[in-house]
Amino acid sequence: MKKIVLKSVAAFSMLASLVLGSCTSDPLTSGTEGGDIEDGFLNGLLEESYTLDSRVNYKLTGSFIVPEGLKLTIPAGTQITADASGADVYLAVLKGGEIDIQGSVANPVIMSSANGEAGDWGGLTLCGEATTSAGINAEAEVGGFKYGGSNDTDSSGSIKNLVIVGTGAQINTESQYNGISFYAVGSGTEVENIAVINGADDGVEFFGGSVSAKNVYLENNEDDAIDWTEGWNGTVENAYVKHTKAGFSTVVEGDKVNNNPKIINLTAVSTVGGTALQFKKESGATITGLSLAGYDKNIDMKDAGALSNVQIEGVDADDTASYAAAPTVDPTTWSWIDAELTSEVLLTGNVTADVTLDASKSYLLTSSYIVKSGAKLTIPAGTKITAVAGGADVYIAILQGAQIDVQGTTSEPVVMSSVAANGGDWGGLTICGYATTSAGVGAEAEVGGFIYGGSNDTDNSGSIKNLVLRGTGAQINTESQYNGISFYAVGSATKVENIAVINGADDGVEFFGGTVSVKNIYLENNEDDSIDWTEGWNGTVENSYISHTVSGFSTALEGDKANNNPKFINLTAVSTVDGTALQFKKESGATITGLSLSGYAKNIDMKDNGALSNVQIDGADADTSAAYDAAATVDVSGWSWKSAEL
């Protein structure tokens, strides 16, 4: 994440005297450290309602408290730099006090420590007079402030276009600050366009009350992104939650009594697993417009509360459902957040018109991304696509009549990978064409049930050059898995050159019929077959290098079913963990020249006793007793593109 850039105090010291122009007297704060509010220092108890000056970069040097009867106004564009002094640095608005944050979409208000590191400072706390199950004049864990009453329409002011960074300081062994803590805050309080980024505890937490929030961006808060307790019954509308750091708690955590708060449009994305929605005791909520991607567990009824307490899209929550709907919130439209924070573009859903990606942007593949007939997906050199570790729900598919154009170069390859790049993290790339296959015309793929196969052996599904895939091979069902790249009846006009598939839980590449050929292919530690074909594929693979350093894989090559004599020119396969090199099932075969095998326990396996003559190696029938240990025919030392990562 880009650090929020704050203006220096020194640069605005000459303007400090102008602050007085916004006040009718000399409002000071008691107990200040380093200077008064009119000098740009926020510390102590505000003694008179005050309007800050957006031209001054204020330093929050300790606790800054707005008491009952007073109002703090913060104009658009104001920046407040919090000392990284932990729990001693925070801003609090007490019962009967008000804050008016007047940020605009073009000039948000920013509150951040200089480095924006989680736990640097406390955060913003508001205490109101709405109802809470904790009672009237309950004591907050933050500052011991009093909160709670009987006025559910109470107003603590207005917060608009606010970005908070680096909060969550530790108070004691039991408690931490949140980005924003709403203690019994009433519905008369307006909260719209807020972001909490890099918080060591929750992004926002509601302790009872009835306040609502609209347009909420929460990134890498280390506990819960949205937390509530004590009977909060407001609404959060349009929330986007992003997790790219492991170890957080949840997207949403509800606790204690259930007053049925509402969440309208929640999109949450994790590249590091974790839990999405957790409900403790009898808590619950009504949620509509839910989209989750990349979480290990989507629904957690922590204390065995009834799933019916949580209504999602009008029905009881389902702890087996994926909730992998298309995103309902697009934060790239929220210009009040730093553009670099929201530049990650989600890839999801169906592509029905030509789409060209932009290598300067970050792409997050959160579910299926399907290019339909008549559309073309163009991916420029250097583009990186991060796939969430969402298993079989996350893949890219190019259907019959559609095209893909991967324009990677040797110096700037295209990368598609999960963050951890562990086998099975995500699906992979599937391409369906109109070439012939022994499965017939209009066959149904095991991947996605897509249709493939026809009579056009020169069919063109596009071009793939300099592409690296990592962490593919997610399990579809008990019988099937994705491959790094699946070529379903892909035709010979499709160009494929310089591709690498690394750490795949199934095959590196598999050909289901078709006539497509591949040149320069690097395959490392794919857990089933590195190169697999079936249904009469008869293309050519030229210059392939296969590496096995993890035991338990199936084969380097596996051919199956009808033999249309595909060709392999220059094949080097190396294993440090034994295994089988070349396996041929039924009547399958191939013509191989330039073969070099090293380290395999078995070099040739005619699985179903097919004729060795079906397999021609360097001009002769395959020999199950031959070593095939010629010097390597493929030198990958110059294939710099294969090592590219996210």
- Determine, yes or no, domain membership for 555: yes
Please give the pLDDT value at position 540: 98
Residue 25 has pLDDT above 70, yes or no: no
Residues 301 and 384 in one domain: no
- Determine, yes or no, domain membership for 645: no
Residue 16 has pLDDT above 90, yes or no: no
Q: Region 376-383: what's the mean pLDDT? A: 98
Q: Which of 284, 316, 348 is the last residue of a domain?
A: 316
Residues 267 and 377 in one domain: no
Residues 300 and 442 in one domain: no
Q: Which two tokens stand for residue 621?
A: 């029938």
Residues 310 and 366 in one domain: no
Give the confidence band of 3 by pLDDT, cuts at 50, 70, 90. very low
pLDDT (tens digit per residue) in 189-204: 999 999 999 999 999 9
Q: Which of 259, 283, 316 is the last residue of a domain?
A: 316
For residue 483, with 0-12 CB atoms within 10 Å meaning exposed, 13-18 middle and 19 or more buried, which class applies?
buried
Please give the pLDDT value at position 324: 87
Give Cα separations from 41 to 2, 16, 68, 616 (angstroms).
Answer: 26, 10, 21, 82
- Determine, yes or no, domain membership for 328: no
Residues 252 and 378 in one domain: no
Please give the pLDDT value at position 13: 27
522 vs 548: CA distance, rounded Å: 11
For residue 619, with 0-12 CB atoms within 10 Å meaning exposed, 13-18 middle and 19 or more buried, which class applies?
exposed
- Dihedral, CA of residue 448, residue 449, residue 453 and residue 457, to nearest 10: 0
Q: Region 617-628: what's the mean pLDDT? A: 97
- Determine, yes or no, domain membership for 326: no
- Determine, yes or no, domain membership for 33: no
Please report, for the chain, how many H helices and E strands are present, in that order: 0, 51
Q: Region 595-624: what's the mean pLDDT? A: 98
Please give the pLDDT value at position 628: 97
Mean pLDDT of the chain: 93
457 vs 516: CA distance, rounded Å: 9
pLDDT (tens digit per residue) in 92-139: 999 999 999 999 999 999 999 999 999 999 999 999 999 999 999 999
Please give the pLDDT value at position 343: 72
Please give the pLDDT value at position 4: 38
Please give the pLDDT value at position 477: 87
Q: How many CB atoms lie within 10 A of CB 30?
A: 11
Query: Containing domain of residue 173, as a range?
Result: 51-316
Give Cα separations from 100 to 105, 157, 159, 160, 499 (angstroms).
Answer: 15, 5, 6, 8, 55
pLDDT (tens digit per residue) in 512-553: 999 999 999 999 999 999 999 999 999 999 999 999 999 999
Question: What contacts 340, CB < 8 A, 6 or more positions away?
Answer: 1, 2
Q: Residues 295, 270: contact at Cβ < 8 Å?
A: yes
- Determine, yes or no, domain membership for 574: yes
Q: Residues 450, 486: contact at Cβ < 8 Å?
A: no
- Determine, yes or no, domain membership for 173: yes
Residues 550 and 410 in one domain: yes
- The CATH number of the domain where 156 resides is what? 2.160.20.10
Of the listed ranges 9-13, 272-276, 616-620, the least confidently predicted one is: 9-13
Q: Region 570-592: what's the mean pLDDT? A: 98
pLDDT (tens digit per residue) in 458-514: 999 999 999 999 999 999 988 889 999 999 999 999 999 999 999 999 999 999 999
Please give the pLDDT value at position 479: 82
- How many distinct structural domains can be found in the chain? 2
- Determine, yes or no, domain membership for 29: no
Q: Which of 253, 282, 316 is the last residue of a domain?
A: 316
Q: Residues 473, 428: contact at Cβ < 8 Å?
A: yes
Please give the pLDDT value at position 552: 96
Residues 374 and 253 in one domain: no
pLDDT (tens digit per residue) in 390-447: 899 899 999 999 999 999 999 999 999 999 999 999 999 999 999 999 999 999 998 8
Give the confidence band of 35 by pLDDT, cuts at 50, 70, 90. low
Please give the pLDDT value at position 22: 29
Residues 416 and 294 in one domain: no
580 vs 528: CA distance, rounded Å: 11
Residues 294 and 385 in one domain: no
Burial 344-382 (b: 16+ CB within 10 A, else e): bebbbeebeeeeebebeeebbbbbbbbbeeebbbbbbbb
